Structure 1
């Protein structure tokens, strides 16, 4: 493990700028270019905002974001103790359909699938754990 960092946020979308700064710092440490950093930031923000919006329907809760970098991967683990939800079982969005023909939702996970190399969901000790990894290419 070359690097690891942790951030805890309340389920409040006002905290997204703090999340973006955290992801930028992690990606910079991993030596990623600006374009890749922006894409990863978008994927992580999408996943975290979904947790903020849906995990705690009855009030406040926290979202934990752990980042790890080794020689091959950049990994983010997003965890919460909210409502169980596995975004990986969501069907692929048919992007060939027009916006009017598509069912609502699913574009966020579609976006995350496009940007990240692996996505894994587990429910452990009453927590949702969503792991998003990106292969780091050496320059």
Structure 2
């Protein structure tokens, strides 16, 4: 059973940084190993940033629902938004190139996918729902 915390994030990068700081204050977060904290921080910041920057075609304030659940062996991060449909599991891995030749973008999804145990995506009731499972170290 997970102990869950639910947050409502406006599509604003500044508010994302405030939310990340709020999550870091949770006792459950403080009990994580530094590596697990890093993976959670990366997954939250990369996936929420993608939603904020690319998820909406129309200007205006939207709300992203974010749930963080903790249990003994792992944790779950769930992001739900009403932006246009986007499945990060279908995103292409970045091309292998030197830092100078590499296209901008794509690394956040790639890094997150390689650091978490699992990522699942579904389009449900006109919402993108991304569930990420992270093993505790």
Q: What 5-or-longer segments of structure 2 have no aligned partner?
A: none
What is the deviation of 1:131?
0.9
Q: In the alignment, does 2:75 pair up with 1:74? A: yes
Once the two structures are superposed, the pairs formed by residues 9-88 of structure 1 within 5 Å of their partners are 9-25=9-25, 28-29=27-28, 31-59=31-59, 60-88=61-89
How far 1:19 moved relative to its partner? 2.0
RMSD in angstroms over aligned alpha carbons? 1.8
Deviates more, 1:30-39 or 1:114-123: 30-39
Q: Following TM superposition, by how much is the alpha carbon of 1:73 offset from its aligned partner in structure 2, in angstroms?
A: 1.9
Given that 2:66 and 2:77 are in contact with CA atoms closer than 8 Å, whether structure 1 keeps it comes out as yes
Q: Which moved more, 1:83-92 or 1:17-26?
A: 17-26
Cα shift at 1:22: 3.6
Q: TM-score, normalised by structure 2?
A: 0.87
Question: Closer, same or farther in 2 for the Cα pair 1:22/1:88, shift >3 Å?
Answer: farther
What residue ranges of structure 1 are gaps of 5+ in the alignment? Answer: none
